[in-house]
Amino acid sequence: MTPKTPEPNLPEGSFMRILILGGDGYLGWPTAMRFSARGHEVHVVDNELRRRAHEQAGTDSLTPTRRLPERVAAWRELTGNEIGVTLGDLTDWDVVEAVFDSFGPDAVVHYGEMPSAPYSMKDREHAVFTQSNNVVGTLHVLYAIRDLAPDAHLVKLGTMGEYGTPNIDIEEGFIEVRHNGRSDYLPFPKLPGSIYHLSKVHDSHNLHFACRVWGLRATDLHQGVVYGIRTEETALDDRLLTRFDYDDVFGTALNRFCLQAVIGHPLTVYGAGGQTRGYLNIEDTLRCVELAVANPAQAGEYRVFNQFTQLYSVLQLAELVQKAGAEIGMDVTVHPIDNPRVEAEQHYYNAAHTKLLDLGLRPHLLDETLIESMFSTIERFKDRVIVDHILPKDRWRPIRPR
């Protein structure tokens, strides 16, 4: 049984009504349990888009994940805590209006978008779907806060990929710009690398606008790539597991490499492997979101936190996985393949990330022990791996007929 302890950054007894959008997802479900375990009243919304996308592609999460009604029943049975559920689509205004009207949130944690860059780059239909799903859903959320819960703090998941890989240091959302003898503090320039990452840039502009013009309060978490398979709450019972994707469309770099190592597949470094990104453990995602919720933005304030703990190139990550494998007698090979994406493979990368540390984040840093613990969880479920969906199938730059 998880004890009901108040979040340390909140004053004693100040429990909140927290709405988690995308609460069936990799990050949303563990976040819902974390807030519920802390005694907050939690309601989740999800339309199972991610589950349907897997069904359509013939792919699946490594971990078997139960549907939301079953998960919340297991959570109730194990902890005595309730989590409310709405199975509905954020692009449907009637759904959004009804949830905000009845739940009246103090904080809204918004994960509910299509999160994959390769999915968004498949073709026109996937691109249009990604941007309309993400941008329209978020616009509905902004209007719902404005009209139905104007004091609620929006904590929105953006991405470090909004910035791209510029040849200058990346700041946290804003930069002082001097031009023709004048200066201003302006949004940091964005050079996103996929239609999905672009959707997040559009969201960021809409959030900023809603804060400036309507006086909403919002924190835009520009998150790096998340890795990991376990949180304190998912470890309580297999019925509470979160998803773990490793396929070419929804799997992300380190999670994929760990799975590939366990099943003896060469690690799929794309191109030269110098692509550098910010990474963080799933436990740190939960902690960052808790810190943002516990320390809300002011009315009218739009703030950006860069949410990652360590920088790695993909080749460095692959070598780390190879080394961790060697320590336990696994023979892990790294096999660079032709890059299906269009991206810089060697570039400058230096991004600020102090705001969450200043609020009290103490990162779980990546080391061989952590990788080995991922190996052992993957080992438990390795019979479920669909090997045909590991190598990338879609190329981002179309080959034009001559």
Give the binding site for ligand USQ (CB under 6 A).
115-117, 159-161, 197, 224-225, 252-253, 256, 268-270, 275, 277-278, 314, 341, 343
Shortest reach from residue 89's CB to ligand NAD, in Å: 4
Distance of alpha carbon 10 from alpha carbon 38, whole angstroms: 11
- Give 247 or 290: the residue with its C-beta nearer to ligand USQ: 247
- Give 102 or 183: the residue with its C-beta nearer to ligand NAD: 102
- From the list 200, 231, 252, 268, the catalytic residue is 200
Closest CA to 134 of 70, 205, 67, 55: 205
Distance of alpha carbon 270 from alpha carbon 190, whole angstroms: 23
Shortest reach from residue 318's CB to ligand USQ, in Å: 8
Shortest reach from residue 340's CB to ligand NAD, in Å: 18
Shortest reach from residue 279's CB to ligand NAD, in Å: 9
- Give 45 or 385: the residue with its C-beta nearer to ligand NAD: 45
Distance of alpha carbon 402 from alpha carbon 264, whole angstroms: 40
Whether 382 sits among the annotated catalytic residues: the reply is no
- Which residues are at the interface with ligand NAD (CB under 6 A)? 22, 24-28, 45-50, 89-91, 111-115, 133, 137, 157, 159, 223, 225-226, 243, 252
Contact criterion met (CB below 8 Å) for 126 and 81:
no
- Give 39 or 194: the residue with its C-beta nearer to ligand NAD: 194
Whether 159 sits among the annotated catalytic residues: the reply is yes
86 binds, among ligand NAD, ligand USQ, none (CB under 5 to 8 A by kind): none
* DSSP 8-state code for residue 134: I
Shortest reach from residue 6's CB to ligand NAD, in Å: 26
DSSP lists the bridge partners of residue 219 as: 155, 303
Instruction: Provide the 10 A C-beta neighbour count for residue 10.
Output: 17
Q: Which secondary-structure segment (H or E) carries 199?
A: helix 195-214
- From the list 163, 196, 227, 312, the catalytic residue is 196
- Give 212 or 323: the residue with its C-beta nearer to ligand USQ: 323
Closest CA to 329 of 295, 283, 361, 375: 375
- DSSP per residue, 282-297: HHHHHHHHHHHHHSPP
27 binds, among ligand USQ, ligand NAD, none (CB under 5 to 8 A by kind): ligand NAD
Whether 156 sits among the annotated catalytic residues: the reply is no
- From the list 2, 63, 159, 285, the catalytic residue is 159
Torsion of CA 223, 299, 18, 25, to 10 degrees: -20
96 binds, among ligand NAD, ligand USQ, none (CB under 5 to 8 A by kind): none
Distance of alpha carbon 293 from alpha carbon 18, whole angstroms: 9
For residue 296, give both structure tokens: 């809300």
Q: Assign 3-class secondary structure to 47-62.
A: CCHHHHHHHHHCCCCC
Active site residues: 159, 196, 200
